[in-house]
Amino acid sequence: MIQAAFWLLTVVFVARLYLVARHNASTAFLGATGVGVVGLFCTGQIVPESTLDALIGGTNWLHLVRNLLVTAAVWLVREGVFSALSTEPETKQRVTRRPLFLAALLLAIVIPFTLQSFVPTTDAFIPETVHQPAVYVYATVYMAVLGGLGLSVLRVSIGPRDSRTVRASATVVGIGMGLMVLGCIDEIIYMSLRFAGFSSSLTDMAYLLFTPFFYSGILLTSLGLGIPPMVRLWRRLALVDRFWILVLHCKFPALKAQGERFAFAVDVLGPRPAERLYTLVIAIGDLRAAGQQAKYSPAAERALVLAQRRLTNTFEPLGLELRKRAEI
Amino acid sequence: MGNQLLEPTELSLRTIESLQLPASPTLPHLISAVERAYGKPLEFDEVADEVLADGVTGRWVDMPARGLIQYRRGHAFWCRHVILHEFGHILLGHKGEPADGLESAGFFSGVGKRRGISWMCRPTAIPLEEAEQAAENLAYALAQRLVTGQDTCVSNAERIFGL
């Protein structure tokens, strides 16, 4: 699951980077996804934790680095979600949205970490060292910070939106954050039980539940952040429009008589396919009118109707629309 | 060269801007805006082939108290474009009388001057004459707002989310 989250977030990061570099898209979630990718890389799923940790001393500093990166990534997600969705005007002035607040959160995690008795790199850092008060405080503060940030994103994300894409993306991110919060609560319970000296089936269950909650949350958050760039790329490719352009060219060979105005290859592969499809549909209608409503083959008629439906799927019947007026 | 897309002219863009349409306008929004600019109510009439001359897909009849837009029977989508074309004539202030210097009005010039009624029509032949070209350009620009440009209208939330 951690690997899946890493690769998904990497794809989302690359897609967002491409859209920012080539199409001047918003950079709001670019930092969040980029920092998140580095954070997930530090989990040891891609390169063994011992190898990476050895580079920075071999005493589990990687654990701290990863947690700081995840905290920063979640804070950046929160920043983007608040910028886009928060309707309260005073939200922008909130202390919690200032970079200094993030720095304070990170410091609150770093300080207890440095006070522990360091041990050599281990894959089970928390289970093996949580009996140390410094490690317990460090990990509890980290989980509390992350849970708090996640909860605030969840509160803002869920709700009706004008845009279907934003609603889908925000809802998936919100659910992801909700799962992450559950993971944080579960981990605090687990660590508290272990710190208090309890070792039972409840402790084991709490330990086992953390990864499914927490990383499925990260996975869903990554998926949610990936929805808008994927929709944008899908729209840019406009494969459905290109398909109907291809079909209309095949079904209405009379278009060839219009000479260079409708060149097959340029129409199918060229830019602005929706406008090309519109122009083709109108040209076919004009051809028909010029030929006094000449009949085309049933297959051609069907293709024309479907191509029009592609362009008009939000419209009411024309007669009804022409009787309506709307306030401007 | 390919499908020659009509790039909106400065005039078309200015005209659409003056309509103050909402971000995602519908046809009823547009009709209301055209009626406001025109100063008269509009009526629409789908007509049989024999009503319109050969090669004419639709026409706007300007009368003292109202405007009538007649369009040839066809697929709703194409009819909509014919109506947008006639909107183009209305919004660009075209008149049917030959006195305004637009040759395209000549087709109906005989009847155009009677009882204050004037006419404009949309022919299927290409190239279009000056007034017809301007109306067709505006029709495509309006269609872009109504149909093909819907995806490009991006709210602040959509922009931040990466659309």
Same domain, A299 and A230: no
Same domain, A220 and A254: no
Same domain, A206 and A281: no
Same domain, A145 and A14: yes
Least confident of B15-19, B62-66, B106-110, B129-133: B106-110
Q: Cis peptide before B41, with omega less than 30 degrees from 0?
A: no
Does the structure show a pLDDT above 60 at B101? no
Same domain, A222 and A244: no
Q: Which of A236, A262, A296 is the last residue of a domain?
A: A236
User: Would you give the DSSP letter of residue B32?
Assistant: H
Same domain, A130 and A77: yes
CA dihedral B154, B155, B159, B163 (to 10 degrees): -40
The pLDDT tens digits for B48-81 are: 888 887 778 888 888 889 999 999 888 888 899 9
pLDDT at A187: 94
Mean pLDDT over residues B86-96, rounded?
87
Same domain, A231 and A277: no
Q: Flag if B44 and A266 touch (Cβ within 8 Å).
A: no
CATH number for the domain that contains residue A173:
1.20.1070
Mean pLDDT over residues B15-36, rounded?
91
Same domain, A184 and A317: no
Does the structure show a pLDDT above 50 at B102? no
Global pTM value: 0.70
What residue numbers bound the domain in which A251 lies?
Answer: 239-326
Same domain, A97 and A224: yes
Half-sphere exposure of B13 (CA within 13 A, CB side): 5
Half-sphere exposure of A184 (CA within 13 A, CB side): 24
Residue B44 banded pLDDT, cuts 50, 70, 90: very high
Angle between helices A201-237 and A239-251 (to 10 degrees): 40
* Interchain CB contact of B31 with A (< 8 Å): yes
* Interchain CB contact of B163 with A (< 8 Å): yes
Helix/strand/coil for A60: coil
Same domain, A245 and A231: no
pLDDT at B137: 92
Q: Which of A206, A236, A266 is the last residue of a domain?
A: A236
pLDDT at A246: 92
Residue of A nearest to B57 (CA): A289
Q: Flag if A311 and B148 touch (Cβ within 8 Å).
A: yes
Least confident of A211-225, B114-128, B134-148: B114-128
**Total domain count, chain A:** 2
ipTM score assigned to the predicted complex: 0.81
A264 or B46, greater pLDDT: B46
Nearest CA distance, B6 vs chain A (angstrom): 9
- Tell me chain B's radius of gyration from C-alpha atoms: 17
Sheet arrangement for strand B56-62: B42-47, B67-72, B56-62, B118-123
pLDDT at B149: 59
Does the structure show a pLDDT above 70 at B119? no
Per-residue pLDDT of chain A (328 residues; tens, 9 = 90+): 888 989 999 999 998 898 888 877 778 788 889 998 988 988 888 888 889 889 988 899 999 999 999 999 999 999 888 888 877 766 666 777 788 899 999 999 999 999 998 999 888 899 899 999 999 999 999 999 999 999 999 998 887 777 888 899 999 999 999 999 999 999 999 999 999 988 888 889 999 999 999 999 999 999 998 998 888 888 888 899 999 999 998 888 877 766 666 677 778 888 888 888 999 999 888 888 877 556 778 888 899 888 888 887 555 788 888 888 888 7
Residue B103 banded pLDDT, cuts 50, 70, 90: very low
pLDDT at A258: 67
pLDDT at B69: 93
Q: What angle do CA A24, A167, A180 make, to 5 degrees?
A: 95
Q: Flag if B3 and A170 touch (Cβ within 8 Å).
A: no
Same domain, A150 and A207: yes
- Tell me chain A's radius of gyration from C-alpha atoms: 27
Q: Which of A180, A214, A236 is the last residue of a domain?
A: A236
Residue B148 banded pLDDT, cuts 50, 70, 90: low
Please state the length of chain B: 163
- Selected for mutation to probe chain A from B1, B3, B160 (highest A CB count within 10 Å) is B3
Residue of A nearest to B137 (CA): A279
- Selected for mutation to probe chain B from A169, A282, A309, A316 (highest B CB count within 10 Å) is A282
Give which of A245, A296, A285, A323 is closest to B85, Cα–Cα: A285
Q: Flag if A28 and B162 touch (Cβ within 8 Å).
A: yes
CB B17, CB A315: distance < 8 Å: no
pLDDT at B152: 57
